[in-house]
């Protein structure tokens, strides 16, 4: 005796395969074209108060800053295993200078911090993932009625997903514009005749098909299919007989085969015979599929896709939050450059340290009035580069609309972040390290506008102190003239005293043991030891190096 039912798709072989995001500019309609046109409802998007006319991606050259700041590591972890990879990548690299859009996203994040609501939308997303898996697998099937059965199952999952989410949003306390308008849309959609008809037709047809019972008799190469008429179910009888011999938990020696959604020619012919025996039910299935072939509402689908922008980031930062470190919603502006951050840290590094159970060192920074450049000096391996990365990460994550590491933050919405980090010599370019540094810095200054942020890490370290000081002064004078925000990590202490636009910050050591780093970066005058320490490190003449050599 057999019940007619469809298979569940294999989790390892489901979902859509998305290509890489194109490098050319995307219009809003092209970016969201796979989601369908916006509904006539008041709800338009969960990530934009109003969909922009054009979405300009950051060019491939401009993305160099991502690897310098380890933002590429953050993004790779966020999108790992996600179906909405292209959408998340596009939004991550787009960067927003509109404070209203940033606040719009902050509102949604704050609502999703309610654990009950978060679990509800995650459950909805899991249902929708199964729906997509069914629809994708359905396209690979060649047997007519099997395809229709999978469409019916997908529609049933969709109805349950939408109904459960509607019930959950009704009882939730929402404050964000995005979720409030979607809740209003969803309530109207669930109450619409279209959705009511889909639910009723799906339930009725599922019940009808679940009542189908039939028998299969196999005699050699002949297979007979007939209606079930009270025949003995021998499989149940055999299981019942052997059940008496079962003694506790035993090892299962059955071989597990990977399920697949396809159907061989024997199964297909059996299904065809069943359809003849139960023609009324299968005729209803045909009509159902004609009527509800496009059951998936595009606004609901768009909401679920955009929802991944939020939940993937919340999942990414969850381990760091659980370790006791704070994230905040920064005050953002594109009109003035007074910035501050308290208890902030390098997010990419924090994820690694948290996984290893190691502590995270937090730092502060601020720039007020005419201050524009943070010159960071101090001993090597003291956290200067990590501080510079954290500064850049903070401003980029803020421009995306994400919560940022720290307890308090006020940040500037730049038009771009430009970075100069030391790189190995590339012999194919037929030029030395210093020449390469000068050319790269010149290109950065040419690209920069008054609204840009520049982060320079150990620039011109390959040359003499005199030349590095000369080049550093020229660069910083240009930065000041263009009124740019800048972090300049250097071993040249003199650069920290170029004028009121420059703020000196130093990496600190344990007073009782100068060889032990604290990784704290504080606002203080340069102490004149940074270059000496760099030279001592280079030639293994530090206290620790000498001590080890003497002891030996």
Q: How far apart are CA 526 and CA 510, in angstroms?
A: 16
Least confident of 106-120, 248-262, 421-435: 248-262
472 and 530 in a single domain? The answer is yes
176 and 61 in a single domain? The answer is yes
Residue 284: inside a domain, yes or no?
no
Q: How far apart are CA 327 and CA 350, in angstroms?
A: 12
Strands (E), 268-350: 327-328, 331-333, 339-344
pLDDT tens digits for 191-234? 999 999 999 999 999 999 999 999 988 888 888 999 988 887 77
DSSP state of 374: E
Quote the pLDDT of residue 61: 45
Quote the pLDDT of residue 75: 96
204 and 345 in a single domain? The answer is no
**Total domains, the chain:** 2
Confidence of residue 58 (pLDDT cuts 50, 70, 90): very low
204 and 343 in a single domain? The answer is no
Mean pLDDT of 38-45: 64
Residue with tokens 């395969």, as numbered in its chain: 17
Mean pLDDT of 50-69: 68
CB contact set of 329 (below 8 Å; sequence gap of 6+): 106, 109, 110, 403, 404
Handedness of CA 37, 41, 47, 51 (dihedral sign): positive
Name the pTM for this structure. Answer: 0.82
Quote the pLDDT of residue 544: 78
Confidence of residue 2 (pLDDT cuts 50, 70, 90): very low
218-221-224 Cα angle (round to 5): 40
Residue 220: inside a domain, yes or no?
no
Domain extent for 349: 328-551
Residue 8: inside a domain, yes or no?
no
Residue 484: is it exposed, middle or buried by C-beta count within 10 angstroms (0-12/13-18/19+)? buried
CB contact at 8 A, 121 and 112:
yes
* Strands 502-510 vs 513-523: parallel, antiparallel or unpaired: antiparallel
301 and 416 in a single domain? The answer is no
CB contact at 8 A, 182 and 168:
no
Residue 1: inside a domain, yes or no?
no
pLDDT tens digits for 121-141? 999 999 999 999 999 988 888
Least Cα distance to 308 among 84, 21, 14 occurs for 84
Quote the pLDDT of residue 427: 58
Spacing of C-alpha 134 from chain mean position: 24
Residue 312: inside a domain, yes or no?
no
Quote the pLDDT of residue 260: 59
CB contact at 8 A, 476 and 502:
yes
Confidence of residue 543 (pLDDT cuts 50, 70, 90): confident
Confidence of residue 549 (pLDDT cuts 50, 70, 90): confident
302 and 380 in a single domain? The answer is no
Q: H-helix or E-strand containing 77? A: helix 71-79
Quote the pLDDT of residue 55: 53
CB contact at 8 A, 176 and 107:
yes
CB contact set of 233 (below 8 Å; sequence gap of 6+): 1
Least confident of 67-76, 169-178, 248-257, 414-423: 248-257
* Strands 485-489 vs 373-377: parallel, antiparallel or unpaired: parallel
Backbone angles phi, psi at 420, to 5 degrees: -130, 100
409 HSE (CA, 13 A, CB side): 29
Mean pLDDT of the chain: 85
DSSP 11-29: GGG-S----PPPSS-EEHH
Residue 69: is it exposed, middle or buried by C-beta count within 10 angstroms (0-12/13-18/19+)? buried
Least Cα distance to 436 among 463, 475, 454, 455 occurs for 463
CB contact at 8 A, 111 and 117:
yes
pLDDT at 111 over 90: yes
Strands (E), 6-141: 26-27, 54-55
Quote the pLDDT of residue 120: 95
Residue with tokens 């609502």, as numbered in its chain: 111
Quote the pLDDT of residue 11: 36
CB contact at 8 A, 327 and 317:
yes
Q: Collapse the DSSP code of 74 into the 3-class scheme (helix H, G, I; strand E, B; otherwise coil) and give the result.
A: helix
Quote the pLDDT of residue 26: 39
Query: 223: which strand partners?
Result: 218
Domain-terminating residue out of 274, 306, 338: 306
301 and 381 in a single domain? The answer is no
Quote the pLDDT of residue 51: 72
Spacing of C-alpha 2 from chain mean position: 44
pLDDT at 53 over 70: no
409 and 302 in a single domain? The answer is no
Residue 75: inside a domain, yes or no?
yes
Q: Within 172-297, where are the H helices?
A: 177-190, 193-210, 234-243, 265-277, 279-291
Q: How far apart are CA 59 and CA 79, in angstroms?
A: 20
Residue 518: inside a domain, yes or no?
yes
**Percent of the chain having pLDDT more than 70?**
84
End-to-end CA distance of the chain: 83
341 and 485 in a single domain? The answer is yes
Confidence of residue 532 (pLDDT cuts 50, 70, 90): low
481 and 355 in a single domain? The answer is yes
302 and 357 in a single domain? The answer is no
CB contact at 8 A, 432 and 469:
no
Backbone angles phi, psi at 368, to 5 degrees: -120, 155
DSSP state of 496: G
Least Cα distance to 73 among 349, 289, 344, 330 occurs for 349
Spacing of C-alpha 333 from chain mean position: 24
Look up residue 484 and give its two tokens.
């740019």
Residue 469's domain is classified under what CATH number?
3.40.50.300
Residues composing the chain? 552
Look up residue 55 and give its two tokens.
């979405």
363 and 302 in a single domain? The answer is no
Which of 115 and 267 is assigned the larger pLDDT? 115
Confidence of residue 380 (pLDDT cuts 50, 70, 90): confident
Confidence of residue 259 (pLDDT cuts 50, 70, 90): low
Mean pLDDT of 497-507: 91
Residue 4: inside a domain, yes or no?
no
Mean pLDDT of 317-343: 96
Q: How far apart are CA 98 and CA 399, in angstroms?
A: 9
């Amino acid at each position: 005796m057999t019940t007619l039912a469809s298979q569940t798709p294999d989790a390892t072989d489901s979902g859509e395969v998305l290509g890489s995001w194109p490098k050319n500019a995307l219009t809003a309609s092209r970016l969201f074209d796979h989601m369908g046109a916006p509904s006539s409802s008041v709800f338009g998007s969960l990530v934009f108060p109003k969909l922009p006319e054009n979405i300009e991606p950051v060019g491939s050259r401009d993305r160099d800053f991502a690897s310098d700041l380890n933002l590429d590591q953050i993004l790779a972890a966020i999108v790992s295993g996600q179906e909405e990879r292209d959408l998340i990548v596009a939004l991550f690299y787009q960067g927003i200078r509109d404070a209203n859009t940033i606040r719009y996203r902050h509102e949604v994040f704050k609502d999703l911090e309610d654990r009950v609501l978060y679990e509800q939308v995650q459950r909805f997303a899991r249902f929708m993932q199964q729906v997509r898996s069914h629809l994708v697998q359905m396209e690979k099937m060649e047997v007519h009625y099997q395809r229709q059965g999978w469409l019916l199952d997908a529609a049933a999952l969709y109805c349950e997903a939408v109904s459960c989410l509607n019930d959950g949003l009704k009882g939730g306390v929402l404050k964000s514009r995005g979720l409030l308008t979607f809740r209003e849309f969803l309530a109207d959609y669930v109450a619409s005749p279209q959705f009511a008809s889909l639910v009723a037709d799906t339930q009725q047809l599922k019940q009808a098909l679940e009542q189908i019972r039939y028998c299969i008799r196999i005699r050699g190469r002949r297979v007979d299919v007939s209606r079930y008429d009270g025949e003995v179910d021998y499989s149940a009888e055999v299981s019942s007989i052997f059940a008496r011999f079962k003694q506790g938990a035993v090892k299962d020696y059955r071989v597990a085969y990977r399920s697949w959604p396809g159907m061989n020619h024997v199964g297909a012919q059996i299904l065809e015979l069943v359809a003849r025996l139960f023609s009324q039910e299968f005729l209803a299935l045909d009509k159902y599929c004609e009527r509800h072939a496009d059951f998936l509402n595009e606004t609901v689908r768009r909401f679920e896709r955009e929802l991944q922008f939020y939940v993937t980031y919340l999942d990414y930062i969850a381990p760091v939050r659980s370790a006791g470190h704070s994230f905040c919603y920064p005050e953002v502006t594109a009109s003035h450059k007074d910035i501050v951050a308290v208890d902030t840290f390098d997010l990419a590094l924090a994820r690694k340290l948290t996984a290893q159970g190691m502590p995270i060192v937090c730092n502060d920074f601020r720039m007020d009035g005419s201050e524009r450049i943070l010159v960071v000096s101090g001993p090597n391996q003291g956290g200067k580069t990590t501080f510079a990365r954290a500064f850049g990460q903070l401003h980029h994550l803020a421009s995306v609309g994400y919560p940022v590491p720290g307890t308090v933050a006020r940040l500037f919405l730049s038009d771009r972040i430009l970075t100069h980090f030391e790189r190995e010599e590339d012999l194919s370019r037929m030029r030395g390290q210093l020449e390469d540094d000068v050319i790269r810095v010149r290109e950065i200054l040419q690209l920069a506008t008054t609204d840009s942020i520049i982060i320079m890490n150990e620039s011109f370290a390959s040359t003499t102190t005199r030349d590095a000081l000369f080049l550093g002064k020229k660069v910083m004078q240009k930065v000041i003239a263009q009124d740019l925000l800048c972090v300049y990590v250097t071993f040249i202490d003199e650069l920290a005293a170029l004028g009121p636009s420059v703020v000196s910050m130093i990496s600190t050591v344990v007073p009782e043991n100068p060889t032990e780093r604290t990784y704290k970066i504080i606002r203080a005058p340069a102490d004149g030891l940074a270059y000496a320490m760099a030279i001592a490190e280079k030639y293994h003449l530090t206290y620790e190096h000498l001590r080890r050599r003497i002891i030996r």
